């Protein structure tokens, strides 16, 4: 009964009315409130071997352009001169091809291993994945080039396929290589 008496003394209309609604602050989209906290970034731990493999990967990559230039030059001389090409050209082209094979084997192993180890790191993931896909496509192209090389001496059409596939694979690898250099790279 005491509360009824207090209510009558204050005024019935004040006690029976609903409480006022909470204040709503409208903010433009994209602006966070000052009291909003961002979730903490997840720590990604890389092994010591990650940096070692990356150093090997980068160092080996510097040999790609000289190998490609040498391959193109000697290959073009073989196409243009055929059996009249100098002996050093005939010997050098397969040696350089073996160099390309060694380079791509090394960089495929080190690159894929590091890609797997860094799969949780969000920064640059799409860029690294695109680089890996392009290089694996180039690997497949060079494997095809190697298969064609067996019959390239006997057939002009296979020789042209060999040259075209080598240029396409090399161009894909070169584009993928360039995208990882610092002025172009987007992480």
Give pLDDT tens digits for 5-54. 444 445 545 555 666 666 655 656 666 566 677 777 677 788 889 999 99
- The Cα-based distances of 87 to 31, 55, 93, 156, 159 in angstroms read 71, 36, 10, 20, 19
For 132-162, the pLDDT digits (tens) are 999 999 999 999 999 999 888 888 889 999 9
pLDDT band at 120; cut points 50, 70, 90: confident
pLDDT of residue 99: 96
Domain ranges within the chain, ordered by starting residue: 48-179
């Amino acid at each position: 009964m005491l509360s009824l008496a207090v209510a009558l003394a204050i005024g019935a209309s004040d006690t029976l009315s609903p409480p006022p609604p909470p204040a709503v602050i409208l903010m433009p989209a994209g602006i966070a409130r000052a009291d909003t906290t961002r979730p903490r970034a997840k720590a990604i731990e890389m092994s010591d071997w990650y940096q070692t493999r990356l150093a090997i990967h980068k160092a080996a990559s510097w040999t790609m352009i000289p190998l490609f230039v040498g391959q193109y030059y000697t290959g073009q001389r073989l196409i243009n001169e055929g059996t009249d090409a100098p002996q050093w050209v005939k010997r050098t082209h397969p040696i350089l091809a073996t160099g390309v094979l060694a380079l791509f084997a090394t960089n495929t192993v080190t690159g894929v291993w590091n890609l797997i180890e860094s799969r949780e790191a969000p920064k640059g993931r799409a860029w690294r994945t695109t680089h890996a896909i392009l290089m694996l496509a180039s690997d497949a192209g060079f494997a095809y080039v190697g298969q064609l090389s067996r019959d390239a001496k006997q057939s002009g059409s296979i020789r042209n396929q060999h040259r075209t596939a080598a240029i396409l694979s090399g161009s894909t690898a070169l584009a993928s290589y360039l995208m990882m250099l610092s002025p172009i790279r987007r992480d």
